[in-house]
């Protein structure tokens, strides 16, 4: 990257300090999440340092690769609202807020990570590939039999856990499992970021952010974004779209289950008919055998009469 300028806090407004009550659209809304960190790279730096366990001075410059124009409507086709960040050392970090569980996150996230990892230009040596991270903030438990708050997945030897490479990383933050945060998670402040994202009132979000300059800056941007009528309109559209998509998915699942039940019922009836046919065939065979036996006995009786 050419931009080596230190990231500073551009927001100085304090109106948010007087805000009370429910937050109209908080950071669990994926559009608000994206716009806040796109507008406020200072807050984004704080989040990344927390997630990666870095000191503040380790990230000097960063840029968002896939910026959207604030206030411009997101099309229905753009279902995914992630943030792709490139640090000045070439590291790529893909961040995504995911509220709903579609039972495919482990495969989706891996697909996203692979796309970012395969970034070499023609002629570059494979050893020059840069580290990549895919970070999913999930409002559900990814693995019910293995609940955790912060999980980091890498390529490792299946036998002895030896690290294959540290340049290919999947991070999962389960926002509904903050109670499982480890001492390391707490030391890095990841649990506080999770609480910030989950906050529903101005009182709660200000309390969570009160002792962290990056979070305080993020709250300012959340406030300013909620003051933007165009941003609120799009945030509402996103929630409506996701709600409609969830309804469609539920209806589709209901129809699939209904069809499966009907197919099972039809299969059961067909099996019953086949069984009845087989039973009738056995009866017909028995009757035929009896008819043959009767015919034989009649023939013997006729022979005896003729003697």
List of E strands, 157-218: 163-174
Average pLDDT of span 163-172: 97
What is the distance of C-alpha 181 from the center of its chain? 20
Q: How far apart, in Å, are the Cα atoms of 192 and each of 27, 128, 244? A: 13, 35, 31
Edge to edge, the sheet with strand 62-64 lists 62-64, 83-87, 92-98, 132-138, 163-174, 150-156
Task: Taking residues 277-295, report their average pLDDT.
Answer: 86
Q: What average pLDDT does this structure show over 180-188?
A: 98
- The whole-number average pLDDT for the span 114-143 is 91
Question: What pLDDT sits at residue 79?
Answer: 59
Cβ atoms of residues 205 and 26 within 8 Å: yes
More confident residue, 180 or 255: 180
pLDDT of residue 293: 82
Structure tokens at 83: 């943030």
Region 257-272 average pLDDT: 87
Task: Give 159's pLDDT tier (boundaries 50, 70, 90).
Answer: very high
Model pLDDT, residue 2 = 47
- Specify the pTM: 0.79
């Amino acid at each position: 990257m050419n931009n080596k300028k230190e990231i500073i806090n551009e927001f100085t407004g304090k109106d948010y300090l007087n805000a009370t009550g429910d937050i109209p659209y908080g950071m669990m809304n994926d559009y608000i999440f994206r716009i806040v960190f796109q507008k406020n790279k200072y807050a984004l730096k704080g989040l990344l340092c927390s997630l990666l366990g870095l000191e503040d001075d380790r990230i000097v410059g960063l840029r968002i690769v896939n910026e959207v124009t604030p206030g411009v409507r997101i099309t229905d086709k753009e279902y995914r609202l992630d943030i792709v960040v490139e640090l000045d050392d070439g590291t790529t970090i893909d961040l995504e807020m995911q509220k709903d569980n579609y039972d495919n996150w482990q495969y989706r996230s891996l697909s996203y990570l692979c796309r970012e990892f395969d970034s070499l230009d023609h002629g570059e040596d494979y050893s020059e590939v840069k580290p990549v991270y895919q970070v999913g903030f999930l409002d559900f438990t990814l693995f019910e039999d293995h609940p955790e708050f912060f999980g980091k997945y890498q390529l490792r030897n299946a036998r002895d856990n030896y690290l294959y490479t540290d340049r290919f990383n999947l991070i999962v933050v389960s926002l509904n499992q903050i109670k499982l945060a480890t001492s390391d998670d707490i030391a890095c402040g990841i649990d506080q970021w999770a609480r910030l994202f989950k906050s529903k009132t101005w009182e709660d979000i200000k309390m969570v952010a009160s002792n962290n300059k990056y979070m305080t800056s993020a709250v300012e941007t959340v406030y300013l974004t909620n003051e933007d009528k165009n941003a609120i309109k799009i945030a509402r559209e996103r929630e409506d779209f996701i709600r409609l998509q969830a309804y469609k998915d539920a209806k589709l699942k209901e129809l699939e289950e209904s069809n499966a039940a009907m197919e099972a019922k039809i299969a059961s009836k067909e099996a019953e008919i086949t069984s009845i046919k087989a039973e009738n065939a056995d009866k017909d065979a028995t009757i035929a055998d009896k008819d043959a036996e009767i015919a034989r006995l009649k023939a013997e009786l006729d022979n005896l009469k003729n003697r």
